[in-house]
Amino acid sequence: MAILNLLLEHRDVPGITNIDVWEAHGGYEGLKRAAAMERQAIVDEVKASGLRGRGGAGFPTWIKWNGLPKNYDQPHYVLCNADEGEPGTFKDREMLLKLPHAIVEGIIIAGLATYSKVGYIYIRGEYTEPAWQVRKAIDQAYQRGYLGKNILGTGHDFDLYIHMGAGSYECGEESALMSSLMGERGNPRLKFPHAPLPTVAGVWQAPTLINNVETYCAARWVLANSAEKYASYGTERSKGTKIMSVSGHIARPGNYEVEMGTPLMELLHQAGGVINGRLKAVIPGGSSVQIKTAEDCEKINLDYESCGANGTLLGSGGFMVFNDLTDIVQLMKRTAEFYMHESCGKCTPCREGTRWMFKVMDRIASGAGQQGDIELLLSIASQVDGRSYCGLGDAACWPIVGAIKAFRSEFEYWIEHKCSPVGSRFFPPQVEAVNPILALSAR
């Protein structure tokens, strides 16, 4: 198990953003096959593939597709989540930029399967160039008759629009995305079981399907190549491939599509290995998931079950590599700052808790930590995690709790010695007090 380019197969083909080149490489074959099928047969094909959502949670895709009412009594919508705000994740960007037709095709297939006539691609505000490529792909798809009225003679109409976000991490959360799309403030909504699922009452209170960019691209691959073939890759419960965005202290950063179940260390090897030191830690699925030590990394495979069993998550596939010169406390201070900044402020645990966690992290990382600060961090996290209105509150806690679990001695070192355990390796004990990090924060 290693690199397996199903979705990224054609990313480097010259001119692949052009519909002629895309079609010459099998493009829109998935749509043509879907157009000749019954709606339920498309859903069943996705079910047979075992595809799970690639936006982070790994929810079975077919259950969502099957959940929309099977009639045209009211409008239905298909949304593509291209907000990609998770730190360390840049796979959707490359798909949007280099393979826009794969996304457009996948969304039209979803429209056919869910009786939807309108789709929106919600693109992160900073992704102007990728959005431009998608715009061109949509125009070309209209010219070919893949979008618009009576697509491919099916009697089915489908229109597709782009909606640009404004660079808010929270707007990637599906219910906040829907609020933002409707022109409201990007706050999340009440969730099931306290409110209906989006498939029942989503955007404009109409049945709505929402999936990630990679999920639509994988569904397209399934329709173009068969569920059986897709399901032959991966593990028993994690089928197919996952695109991992590899960054940090690594020789060849970039997007790598790996077969589910590939050993974590194999991906490190494929990406050229750690640079400027030895491996210290990896965050496998974006900043919201738990950091793992080099020792733990040996045991982890890149699939939902193995990551879960080892106390972390595959998440969005934002694979961040850290060498042994990394100061974990400084890393967590920066992470806490991110979540504090992105908290939308709607609920008290997250609004207050993220700020409080950052303040404690900041004082530890600037040499003013106090005895009991580690317990304080764990206590705050226990009151935010699972008690916030949406997943951002949980996501703010997991990295800090995970880092304390894996690297507690580094937090203790900072509190006791008022300087970095990493920095101290380069300074004899008597000059630890002039650790450059401390000197900077004292200014």
**Contact (Cβ atoms closer than 8 angstroms) between residue 281 and residue 290:** no
Whichever of 8 and 361 has its CB closer to ligand SF4, that residue is 361
d(CA 296, CA 311): 10
E strands present in 83-235: 118-123, 159-164, 208-212
Q: What angle do CA 171, 192, 65 make, to 5 degrees?
A: 75
Asked if 284 interacts with ligand FMN (CB under 6 A), we say: no
Whichever of 35 and 392 has its CB closer to ligand SF4, that residue is 392
Q: Which among ligand FMN, ligand SF4, none contacts residue 178 (Cβ within 5 to 8 A by kind)?
A: none
CB of 143 to ligand FMN, least distance (A): 28
- The residue number whose beta carbon is nearest to ligand SF4 equals 350
Out of 30, 55, 111, 234, the residue judged to bind ligand FMN by CB under 6 A: 55
**Contact (Cβ atoms closer than 8 angstroms) between residue 329 and residue 361:** yes
Q: In what order do the strands lie in the sheet with 318-323?
A: 254-259, 241-248, 318-323, 279-283, 292-293
Stretch that binds ligand FMN, among 33-41, 65-73, 166-174, 358-366 (CB under 6 A): 166-174
Out of 391, 402, 421, 423, the residue judged to bind ligand FMN by CB under 6 A: 391
How far apart, in Å, do the first and last CA atoms of the chain sit? 51
Q: Which among ligand SF4, ligand FMN, none contacts residue 211 (Cβ within 5 to 8 A by kind)?
A: ligand FMN
Q: Which among ligand SF4, ligand FMN, none contacts residue 165 (Cβ within 5 to 8 A by kind)?
A: none
Summary count for the chain: helices (H), strands (E): 18, 11
Q: Which residue has the tokens 């829907």?
A: 178
Q: Which among ligand SF4, ligand FMN, none contacts residue 388 (Cβ within 5 to 8 A by kind)?
A: ligand SF4
Phi, psi at 355, each rounded to 5°: -65, -45
Q: Which among ligand FMN, ligand SF4, none contacts residue 161 (Cβ within 5 to 8 A by kind)?
A: none
Give the Cβ contact number of residue 98 at 10 Å.
Answer: 18
Whichever of 302 and 392 has its CB closer to ligand SF4, that residue is 392
Q: Which among ligand SF4, ligand FMN, none contacts residue 57 (Cβ within 5 to 8 A by kind)?
A: ligand FMN
d(CA 373, CA 384): 17
Q: Which among ligand FMN, ligand SF4, none contacts residue 389 (Cβ within 5 to 8 A by kind)?
A: ligand SF4
Whichever of 27 and 172 has its CB closer to ligand SF4, that residue is 172
d(CA 148, CA 31): 14
Stretch that binds ligand FMN, among 47-55, 97-105, 129-137, 345-353 (CB under 6 A): 47-55
Encoded one letter per residue, x for contact with ligand FMN by CB under 6 A and - for no contact, window 352-381 reads ------------------------------
Whichever of 346 and 418 has its CB closer to ligand SF4, that residue is 346
CB of 175 to ligand FMN, least distance (A): 7
Buried b (16+ CB within 10 A) or exposed e, 246-284: bbbbbeebebbbbbbbbbbbbbbebbeebeeeebbbbbb
Q: What angle do CA 341, 344, 350 make, to 5 degrees?
A: 80
User: Which residues bind to ligand SF4, rule: CB under 6 A?
Assistant: 170, 188, 343-347, 350-351, 388-390, 392-393
Whichever of 334 and 346 has its CB closer to ligand SF4, that residue is 346
CB of 81 to ligand FMN, least distance (A): 4
Restricting to residues 223-242, name those near ligand FMN by CB under 6 A. Answer: none
Phi, psi at 209, each rounded to 5°: -105, 135
Q: Which among ligand SF4, ligand FMN, none contacts residue 198 (Cβ within 5 to 8 A by kind)?
A: none
The burial class, CB within 10 Å (0-12 / 13-18 / 19+), for 67 is middle
CB of 393 to ligand SF4, least distance (A): 4
CB of 188 to ligand SF4, least distance (A): 5
Alpha helices in 182-288 (DSSP H): 213-225, 227-231, 264-270
Asked if 385 interacts with ligand FMN (CB under 6 A), we say: no
Whichever of 176 and 422 has its CB closer to ligand FMN, that residue is 176
Whichever of 11 and 346 has its CB closer to ligand SF4, that residue is 346
Asked if 218 interacts with ligand FMN (CB under 6 A), we say: no
What lies within 8 Å, CB to CB, of 38 at 6+ separation is none
Kindly state the DSSP code that residue 430 receives in the 8-state scheme: G
